[in-house]
Each structure stands twice: as C-alpha cells, then as structure tokens.
Structure 1
Amino acid sequence: MGLLAGLVGAGLALDRAFPPDLSRLEHTARLVTDRAGRPLSALPAPGGIWRLPTTSADVPPHLVALLVAAEDARFAWHPGVDPLAVGRAAFQWLRAGHVISGGSTLAMQVARLLEPRPRNLRSKAIEAFRALQLQARLGRQGVLDAWLTLAPMGGNLEGIRAGALAWFGRDARNLDPAESALLVAIPRRPEALRPDRHPAAARAARDALLLVRAARAPDITAADRTLLAGDVPRARQPMPALAPHLSREADRAGEGRTTLDAPLQRALEALLSEARAGLPPRVSTAAVVADLRRREIRALVGGAWGDETRAGAMDLTRAVRSPGSTLKPLLYALSFEAGLARPDTLLEDAPARFGAYAPENFDHGFAGRVTVAQALRRSLNLPAVAMLDRLGPLRFASALKRLGAVPRLPAGAEPTLPLALGGVGLTLRELLTLMAPLGDAGRAGALHWQANAPAPPPAPALDARAAAEVAAILTRPFPDGGPAGVAWKTGTSWGGRDSWALGFDAAHLVGIWVGRPDGTPMVVHTGGATGTGLALPLLARAFTLLPAAPRPSRERDRTPAQVARAPQDRLRLLFPVPDTEIAGGEVLLRAAGGRRPLSFLVDGAPLPGIPARRDALWGPREPGFYRVTVLDADGEAASVSVRVR
C-alpha cells in the first residue's frame, strides 16, 4: 500500500515538474460559420497552419468508431498506455529483431503530435509518460478531441475538420464512412498518403482500413465497404472564404457563429463581383442584406476582397460617407409624425435661399408646385430643405441618434440645413438601421450579426402611421424591372463620390453602395455616377436573390386590443382585389376592418376622401400598373397591385 502511494506521489511530482506542452491545442485556426453552422471562412493558425479545433461532436459517430477500432481498440479502459499492446510489441521486437508493431495508443499519438521527437526507445518512453499525463489531465474525451484536432492531414493541414474541408469541400459532420476512413488513414503517413500527390497509395490505405479494421466498428457495414469505397479526391479544395470582412470582424470579437446565410452570401458576392467587372478599376461596391423584423444581417459584402486597387481589405459597409438623399424618407416621416405635413401637402420646388444657403436640384431645374409624395419620389432638394427648416436640424439630428445612428459632423459644428441633402457622415450599416423603421411599423433597432449574442428586439421609436405612409410612397416598380412590392430610395453624394440604393420589402432590408474607397469622385460614363445609374440596378438584382416576402404578419407589432381583433376586423381591401384589371373611368376603392380614419393611396399619393368613410373614388389618368394602399389609424397597411387597361 505504501509502495502504491509512493508511486502515485512520484507521478504527481513528475507531472507538476514536467507538465505537457499544450500550446498546439491552444493555437488553432478559427472557423466562422453561418447561422446554420455551415462554414463561411477559415482563418489559419500562426504559421499558416490549418488546425481547426475539433471534438467528437464535430464528426460522425462512425469516424470515431473506426478510429478507435483501427488505432486503439482498448481505448475505453487503459490509462493512456495499453500494457497488452506494449507487451505484444516488445515480444515481436525481441523475436524478429526489429519493430513489427508500435503499440501506440491515441494518447501516445497525441503526445507525439504535441512534442515531436526522433523515433527511438527513449522517445517512446517519454511518449508513454506524456500519454499517462494527458489522459489524467484531459480525460478520455479530451484525448480523443486532441487527436481529432492535431492529426496531420498532409501539408499544412491538421485535424479532421481541416481535412474534411480541404479534401472533400464540406464540413466533417457530413463525411460518409469511406471519406472518414481516408482521414483516419492519412495521419499514419501524412505526406506519403496525400490523395492529391499519391492517390493510389491513399486509396489502398483507405480500403485496407475499411476491409481489415472495419469489422471492429459496427457502424460500418459490408454494404458501406462495397458501395462507398470509390476513388479518392485528386485535388485539394480551397478553404472556405465567404464573407471575409465580417469573418475577420467576428474573429476579433471572439465570435465563431454569425447570423449570415451561406448560400445567400455566396450569391451576393458573385453579384457584386460581376458588377465590379464593369466599373472603373478603383471603383468598389459594398452591400448588406438583413432580416427586416429581426435586424439580423443575412449577407454582407464589404468590398473587393483581394483586389488592392480597390482597397479590398477595407470593410466599406463601415466606411463613413455622405448619404446623399437617402435621409429624405426619414425626414418626411418625422415631419408627418410632427404634424407638419401629409403625403398630399403641397410644396414649392422653386429657387429659394435659406440665409446664405441656396440649394439646387440635381438637374439644376425646378418642378414648381408638387405634393410631398411627388417631392420624395422625385428626390427634389428644395422641398426637403424647406421641410427640414420647419422641423429643425437639431431635432432631425437628435432623431437620427434616437433611431440608431449618431450623425458625424465636423468638429464643433452644429446640425444645419445641409443635413437634408447628405451633409453628415454615416455608414451603410447605419443607413439601413435608419431605413428599417419605415418598413417595420416605426420600430428601431441596430443591425447585428452575432448569433450567440442577439441584440435587444426593435422597439417603437417612430409613429407607425407616418412610417407606413412613407413606405407606401417609396413602394413602386424598379425602372429597369425587378421584384414587386419593394420600397426603395437612391442617393448620390456631392460630386458623385458615393452612389446609394436602399430598399425593403415585407421581410428584407437591402443596401448597396458604389464608390471609390479613397472618397474621390467616380468617373463613370454609362448611366452616370448616381445612385439611380449605379446602385439601383444592383439593388433590384439583389432582391431577386431573396425569397418572395410573405404578406407581413403584424402580430408582434400590435397592442393587446389589436391582437384580440377577429379576422374580419383586420384591415383589408375589399376592392380592388389582387391582380384586378380595370377598364378605366372612376373606381370606388373599398376597405374593411382596421381603425378609422382610413387613408387611401395610389402609388404613394393620397386620394381625397372623408376620413370616417371606408371608401374613396379614384380616376386613373392613363393605362398602366398601379399600387393601391389603405392605411388605418394604427399604421396598418393593406396593398394590392392593379392594372388599368
């Protein structure tokens, strides 16, 4: 008993005096995933090593079963060193005069991977001691996870997850038994069994593992061995490299899982890459797609990653730029909320001075008397500046902050009237944060991408009716075609430095930026360096990548009294119904449900009517497609598309 206690004490003393070096397990590559756990980007460990942390939960059960059967059949009971295997190896060595089998356990292999040494008896003894230490410190599960993380896969690849991505182009969880067998076989001779350089040897090693060792692994059947033992991969796949800008942001924040959607991210990157091919060399693009209700970013392209001429390493969704006219919708919504105007309020678009400030329209012309709805759709400058003069620049700047974006002004400067036309610094992410309340019943909340640390839910910050009226004005067809039911606004900063297009439908929020990363003016001959010419076509194409937005469910936006309404009390259009064709003449629009007063709009322009009534007359002026909308006192909206023949 005393001898046993002495041995244990000596072992503990040696363990404290000579602790194992676990730094290789600590210095690993990072894998950033989308919201479903699919790989987005892999970032290498120091030295360019692809060593991804891996646990048994990251691999299929049949791989673990095969690994134990092939490498350490008594793994479940020995303390890190298998005395039966060691005894067998020693007997074979003495009998044959050379090494027949090594007797290494998984713990001994991990010890060798952590601290490589020359292959001799002294090294074997040290590995045995380290194996006992590792299994005592990490436990069996820890040893298994260490092997899955450190196993060499050829070249600069280490671990099962890195091997699965490089040799099969997919996550380790999805490996079939034959693929698992190859990854278990490669670590025996990593360079000699690389399938891209020695495919025949790699296949033979894999098949031997399946045919000889798999009898001990019940999860791998004879049918698996017959059907799945096909060819091995002949080329190494590139490591995942989607969303490079956001992936590095996630890595800096210590987050591995994002809210992105990998297929959508891939499609958006391809769309913007194709668009950049038609732009001048130093012009870049950036885009963000978010879930309107949750404010979760689903796809983000920060720029032309890898293209130094376009400053590809910069995340241009975070670049502070002038927003041009993209703040006008929010300006009018705040004016509606304050009772300063309605969509049918008449404004003058004519030369005017505001002290020393004399704004002009983009085309240097003037439209005369227009409604607010017309002024916003045509993005006229004079009416917007006049409205800001009535609302107050300080009040507007305070509202921007309340809705989630702190306006950046020159040091010591106060908010002034140029705010209406983009005289402030904001980012693409911030502009989408400001646009979102217009499509979400006035609820404000910041965009976020961290799946494991969700942001607080959006909260009411803007009058729902005012938001819905502006959304109705902005909902119109794209000039060159695109999905219906999208509200959009473009913007161009002074000198054509920035081209913007922002839009939303019932479920999605999308923003596009086109410009030069250095902030100098663009020189673009086709379509002009404007939001309409450059960014809007990309916005329309981005919406084609998204699933059709369902008719919005407003349950989460309602008060308890509104939720309690019976279905027949919900706001809806009785006439016209969707896809109605009208022959012309005066049409009586009729609605049911909702809380009065009701407002009827056609393409965002309000119709005259009596607020207490549930109908209004409309006389279409010419054939074409129109969008009819009804709004109630709670900001609820119902819309349909009609055609006038």
Structure 2
Amino acid sequence: MARAGSGIFGRWAAGLLGAVLGGIALLLLLDRAFPPDLSRLETVGRVVVDREGRTLSALPAPGGVWRLPVGAEEVPPHLVELLVAAEDRRFWRHPGVDPIALGRAAFQWARAGRVVSGGSTLSMQAARLLEPRPRNLRSKAIEAFRAVQLEWRLGKPGVLRAWLTLAPMGGNLEGVRAGALAWFGRPVERVSVAEAALLVAVPRRPETLRPDRHAEAARAARNAVLTRRGAPALPEAERVAALAEGMPDARRRMPGLAPHLSRQVAREVSGDVLRTTLDSGLQRAMEGIAREAMAGLPERGSLAIVVADLRTREARAVVGGEWLAEGRAGALDLTRAVRSPGSALKPLLYAMAFDRGLARPGSVMEDLPRLFGDWAPENFARGFSGRVTAASALRQSLNLPAVALMEALGPIRFASAMKRLGAPPRMPPGAGAALPLALGGAGVTLRELVGVIAAIGDGGRGGALRVLPGGAPFEGEAVVRAPAADAVAAILTQGFPGGGPEGVAWKTGTSWGGRDALAVGFDARHAAGVWVGRPDGTPIPGATGRSLALPVLARVFAALPMAPRAVEGTVAARAAGSAPVDGLRLLFPPSGAVIDEGAVTIRAAGGRRPFTFLVDGVPFASGGARREAGWVPPGPGFYRVTVLDADGGAVSAAVRVRGGE
C-alpha cells in the first residue's frame, strides 16, 4: 500500500507541476502574443531643471496633456505609503492580482446586486490607465491579465511609475508631478503629507474631486486617505494640522522659466528630467529685468540677456526674448540669432595686438582720416580725436585705431582666434575675413559674444558657453596670454554712466544703422551680455549700445552677487608683478585753470612710469621717469592738457591761456 500511495502522490505532484509549467508557458505565449501597450507611459512631457534640480520649465506631452514622468524613488516616501494604504494594502505581496480582494468584491457584488468594491490592485489600475476600457467584467478580466504582465515586465517599481505618471488629476493633468505643480505650485518631491493625500484621493473621481471646484468633497476624500488604516503614523499635532490644512482654490500656471532654452534642450537631449547649468533664481531675476526693459522699447523691439560663470563658462541665465510675444518674434531664441556685434569685438582685437607686441596700453595712436585701400572708415560720432593712447582709443571705441590694429594683426588671424573661442564669424556671402571685422563686419550670436568677452576676463582662456552640466571641468585654450587679457580688462573696468555697480569691465557695440545695440561685460565671477533690437533686422532710429543695452547690463550686474574687479592700477601692478600704485592724477594745471602766457610746468602724481604729456592730443614731451614737463603755450586760447602713464591711464584738464595785458 505504501508503494501504491507514494506512486499516486508522485503522479499527482508530477501532474501539478506539469499544470503549473503549462500555465506559465501559456502566460508567456499570451504575453508575447498580446504585449501591453506602454505608449501612454512613453508619450510624456519633459521637465527641465536648473543646476540644483529646481524646476525651470515643464513641457507638455503631445496634444497639450500635462503628463510628466515620475518614479516612486522621486516622490516622498509618505506619498507611496498613503497610496498603498488607500488603494492596495497587499501591493507588495501579490503578483498583480489580489485573490482576497477579488473574492471579497465578488461576494459583495453577489450579495448587494451591485459593485460595492472593485477589488482592483494598483497593478490593475495601472493597466486601466495605460489602456482605458469600459467598466465591465470583460474589462476587469483583461485588466487582471495585464496586471500580471506589468508585474512580470516592469516589477513593482515600474507599476508604481505607471500609476504615479498616469493617474488623472483633473482637467488635462495626469500624474502626481503635474498635480503637485498645478495644485500646490511646488515639485512633487516637496509635497507635505496632506498634499500627498490629496494627490492620492483626486484620481478616484478626478472631475468631482477637483479642489478648485469641489473643495469640500476634495477635503473629505483627502482626510479619508489620511485616516486610512496603514497610512503613515503622525504625531497628534501634525495629524490635526494635516486634517485642517486648506484646499488650493485655483490651478496654478505650470513653471515656464527659460522657455527658449528649455525647448532647445528638449530637442537635443533625451530623458524625462533634463538638467541644465542655469540658476532658477537668477533666471527669474533676469526675466524680470528683461520684461521691464522691453516695456520701454519701440514697437517690435526685443531684448536678450545671457549671464555665465566666468571660470566654468556655464550659462546661469538665458533670456531669449519675450516668449511667444506677438510682434516681437517671441518664438525665436535671440541669444542664438546671428547679428552684427558692432564694436563689441574690439577688446579681443586689442588683447591680440598687445599680446603680439603691436601696441601697449600707453602707445600713442592716430585717430585721423585715412584710407585703407578704397575704404575710409569713420567714427560713430563722425569726428576724429587726433593722437590718443591705445587705452583711450579702446575706451572711446574709436574706429580708425582699431582698423589700423586689424591691418597690422591680419583679419585671417583674428577670425581664426574667434573660431578657437567658439565664435566663428559669419561673413557676408562671397566675402572672406577682411578689415571690417574690426568694426563688426561679421555675424556672431549673443551667446558666442559673451564667451569672447569672458575670455578677456579670464586671463585669455577661450571656450564656448555650456548650458548642459557634466563632462570634464572647463580648462579652455589660451587664445591670448594673461598679461594682454589683463591689460584690456583693466582698461575696460570703469564705472557705468549714471552710476551702477563698481568693478565691472564693459564694452558696447552698435551695428550699422542701429539694427543691433549690444553691451557685454564681466566682473570677477560673471560674464554677461545684452542685445537690444528688432528681430526682423529693421533699425531702431537712434539706437546705440550705450543708450539701450548698457543700462540693462548695469541692472544685470546690480542683480548679481557682488564680485568687483580690482581697480585699474591694481590690475596693472599685479600683471607687472609689483605692488599696487596710486591712481594717476594731474596736479597742475587743474581743470578750468586760467594761466598766463609763458612757460608752464605740468605736474602729475600717482600712476606708473614712464609718462607721456600731450596737449590737444599731440605729444610734446616724454617725461620718462619724471612726473613733470615744461610746456610753452603757442598763444592765447583754450587747450586740453593730458598725461598718460605706462598702463594707459589718462587724466586731462581743460585750461585757458590768456594774452598779455
């Protein structure tokens, strides 16, 4: 008998094993023949975040649905605990279908003659969210099969991801990330226990539990989730506060900072959450500055701003224009538009000239009419300043000295340096690098221009701006040597007209006809640029970089953390390896002085030797190490006396020489 019994048991066990294996084989065949449709889970919007992970922009899924992806590992633990307690207490123990819950639902249905509880697990709910169907028994059977498939294919984390991403939150909102942004105005990572409970409750009846329309119903549903068995245990004071917490009374706008850059990144980078190098607080401040400035611009005028970290070349704020503004080409990213830089490239030209020994800050140059082949460039103000130092010529943005330096340096060499800086010059059709490059005769973008000016502020290290984090730390290529770059930085470090932050080096640019007004600058930590103009390229009458763009640049640096550069004398002394020197001063004659005919001794103080003395722009004496020089006025009249030092510092005084009695 024992042998017969053991034989029967063996046959029974073998049969059971065969049935199990057959069932598994059938499930595998069905799974392969009828795979779940995951397209809704894969057709999602994108979230763009700043360097610290703070939300900049949310971009909707196709069709305008706010379906933003999120996984269980990205939400607070109390949200998952509330969800499991409210919807599927045995979630972690069943394979997708809960026989106990289904049996209870069937019994209640049979006894009451109607559906009392659905018996759906979170896995079955996820299946229904992926493939919505009519609510009937056939659909329930399909959902049960799909639930097992989802558990098999995605595991518990994948099932939670599907629910958290697809759960309806009212209107065109789907998922807890979109719900948190729309109802609370904060990322889902930072929702409170009460807010998490509302996100769990709303999907049960998303239109009748919308908190902005049905506040009391939403409150009751939320509090039911909070008090459900298995919900996170809270201290009594926190529990009372959570139950009393108010309902959102309106749906908030989705975050939309840096809209142009966000869409650029979404086109170029894969992933659900896209990290950038921006700073959300600074981006918000720059967009505010831009809005206020654009309110005062002429019709169709627009504005763009770029702020970058000087050392890493990472963009911290990018304002591409007024997003979708009618008449301002609001869909275009004007930080990437190719425009003429005007005189804003002159700092690079002078740095290269200083680096190659073609000039130094104190070199005397001629700002006088001259032909370069058949081209006769003029200054913006149409006049000429005579003999000036290179430092003064750069500060005044004089054109003739710049073109002369370009001729000596070579436009091809200059264009090559621009390419190495990540700013390849776009020439007119059929044209090559030529002398007009000195005055903006090629196109660059504002982002590229900020990269060029950053190289001047960073000791000559060149490199394009970056908007995406990661990769090797920025090292840069030495386009010019540090002493030359520092000399130009010292020349450009001056106060803003009308006041503003101190210790900022800046330069303006104006393209032909007032089509582009630019200002770029840097302090010890940041580089920034502002473009003002009309996107369609039509001129703004009277527009200049100094009048339109520079005041905005002053506001940009006023909004940045203070990081002033050293004053000119200190920078020059550091470059020379010596102690700082006093600022150059003219002791005699003072400005406005009236002096008699005869010999006059001009005296200077401070500054760095050697010194050059000029009257009306014409040198008359090189004092060398001496701080004074004798001058005999040629006759009565008005004169301008100037003293220059070795660093290009210049001080002047207007005097009148009166005739004999």
For the criterion TM > 0.5, the same-fold answer is yes
CA change 1:428–1:600 in 2 (3 A) is farther
CA offset at residue 356 of structure 1?
0.5
Task: Look up the match of 2:547.
Answer: 533
CA change 1:180–1:618 in 2 (3 A) is farther
Task: Look up the match of 2:596.
Answer: none
CA offset at residue 221 of structure 1?
4.0
Paired letter, 1:374:
S
Task: Look up the match of 1:231.
Answer: 246
Does residue 496 of structure 2 align to residue 478 of structure 1? yes
Paired letter, 1:292:
L
- Does structure 1 conserve the Cα–Cα contact (< 8 Å) formed by 2:504 and 2:564? no
Paired letter, 2:248:
P
Matches of 2:360 and 2:582, distance apart in 1: 24
Question: Counterpart of 1:499 in 2: which secondary structure?
Answer: strand
Task: Look up the match of 1:343.
Answer: 361
CA change 1:17–1:222 in 2 (3 A) is farther
Matches of 2:90 and 2:113, distance apart in 1: 26
1:450 to 450, 465, 468: 468
Q: Deviations over 1:50-82 (max 9, x none)?
A: 010101122111111111111111111100011
- Does structure 2 conserve the Cα–Cα contact (< 8 Å) formed by 1:448 and 1:455? no
Q: Deviations over 1:217-246 (max 9, x none)?
A: 335443322112311101000001111110
- Does structure 2 conserve the Cα–Cα contact (< 8 Å) formed by 1:329 and 1:376? yes
Does residue 98 of structure 2 align to residue 82 of structure 1? yes
CA offset at residue 433 of structure 1?
1.5
Q: Deviations over 1:343-392 (max 9, x none)?
A: 00001111111110001111111111100000000001111111111111
Paired letter, 1:505:
D
Matches within 5 A, 1:105-504: 105-211=121-227, 213=228, 215-229=229-243, 230-254=245-269, 256-453=274-471, 456-504=474-522
Matches of 2:403 and 2:504, distance apart in 1: 26
CA offset at residue 440 of structure 1?
0.3
Task: State the percentage of identical aligned residues.
Answer: 63
CA change 1:600–1:86 in 2 (3 A) is farther
CA offset at residue 411 of structure 1?
2.9
CA offset at residue 113 of structure 1?
0.5
Matches of 1:261 and 1:629, distance apart in 2: 42
Task: Look up the match of 2:640.
Answer: none
Aligned length: 580
CA offset at residue 414 of structure 1?
2.1
Does residue 118 of structure 2 align to residue 102 of structure 1? yes
CA change 1:455–1:27 in 2 (3 A) is farther
CA offset at residue 588 of structure 1?
5.4
Question: Counterpart of 2:519 in 1: which secondary structure?
Answer: strand
- Does structure 1 conserve the Cα–Cα contact (< 8 Å) formed by 2:459 and 2:481? yes
Question: Counterpart of 2:362 in 1: which secondary structure?
Answer: coil
CA offset at residue 149 of structure 1?
0.6
Matches of 1:550 and 1:7, distance apart in 2: 75
Q: Deviations over 1:226-272 (max 9, x none)?
A: 11231110100000111111001000012511000111111111111
- Does structure 1 conserve the Cα–Cα contact (< 8 Å) formed by 2:523 and 2:565? no
CA offset at residue 465 of structure 1?
0.4
- Does structure 1 conserve the Cα–Cα contact (< 8 Å) formed by 2:362 and 2:645? no
CA change 1:610–1:112 in 2 (3 A) is farther
Task: Look up the match of 1:636.
Answer: none
Paired letter, 2:21:
A
Question: Counterpart of 1:93 in 2: which secondary structure?
Answer: helix
Matches of 1:618 and 1:313, distance apart in 2: 61
Paired letter, 1:545:
A
Structural RMSD (CA): 2.6
Task: Look up the match of 1:22.
Answer: 38
CA change 1:308–1:254 in 2 (3 A) is same
CA change 1:550–1:531 in 2 (3 A) is closer
CA offset at residue 572 of structure 1?
7.2
Does residue 531 of structure 2 align to residue 513 of structure 1? yes
Matches of 2:191 and 2:150, distance apart in 1: 28
Matches of 1:408 and 1:587, distance apart in 2: 47
CA change 1:599–1:191 in 2 (3 A) is farther
CA offset at residue 459 of structure 1?
2.7
Paired letter, 2:539:
P
Matches of 1:158 and 1:433, distance apart in 2: 41
Paired letter, 2:157:
Q
- Does structure 2 conserve the Cα–Cα contact (< 8 Å) formed by 1:589 and 1:618? no
- Does structure 1 conserve the Cα–Cα contact (< 8 Å) formed by 2:57 and 2:257? yes
Paired letter, 2:523:
D
Q: Deviations over 1:5-26 (max 9, x none)?
A: 1111111111111111000000
CA offset at residue 599 of structure 1?
9.8
Question: Counterpart of 1:339 in 2: which secondary structure?
Answer: coil
Question: Counterpart of 1:226 in 2: which secondary structure?
Answer: helix
Matches of 1:609 and 1:234, distance apart in 2: 77
CA change 1:315–1:85 in 2 (3 A) is same
Q: Deviations over 1:574-617 (max 9, x none)?
A: 6669xxxxxx9965579xxxxxxx9999xxxxxx9999xxxx97
- Does structure 2 conserve the Cα–Cα contact (< 8 Å) formed by 1:472 and 1:629? no
Matches of 1:88 and 1:472, distance apart in 2: 82
Unpaired segments ≥5 residues, structure 2: 1-16, 567-573, 584-589, 591-602, 613-621, 630-643, 650-661
Paired letter, 1:235:
A
Paired letter, 1:474:
L
- Does structure 2 conserve the Cα–Cα contact (< 8 Å) formed by 1:373 and 1:473? yes
CA offset at residue 401 of structure 1?
1.6
Q: Deviations over 1:310-362 (max 9, x none)?
A: 10101111111111001111111110011010000001111111110001111
- Does structure 2 conserve the Cα–Cα contact (< 8 Å) formed by 1:589 and 1:617? no
CA change 1:74–1:371 in 2 (3 A) is same
- Does structure 2 conserve the Cα–Cα contact (< 8 Å) formed by 1:407 and 1:425? yes
Paired letter, 1:136:
W
Question: Counterpart of 2:335 in 1: which secondary structure?
Answer: helix
Paired letter, 1:362:
F
Unpaired segments ≥5 residues, structure 1: 553-567, 578-583, 591-597, 602-607, 620-627, 632-638, 640-645
Task: Look up the match of 1:622.
Answer: none
Matches of 1:426 and 1:42, distance apart in 2: 30
Matches of 1:618 and 1:177, distance apart in 2: 78
| TM-score normalised over the length of structure 1 | 0.86
- Does structure 2 conserve the Cα–Cα contact (< 8 Å) formed by 1:588 and 1:618? no
Question: Counterpart of 1:318 in 2: which secondary structure?
Answer: coil
Task: Look up the match of 2:75.
Answer: 59
- Does structure 2 conserve the Cα–Cα contact (< 8 Å) formed by 1:444 and 1:461? yes
- Does structure 1 conserve the Cα–Cα contact (< 8 Å) formed by 2:492 and 2:507? yes
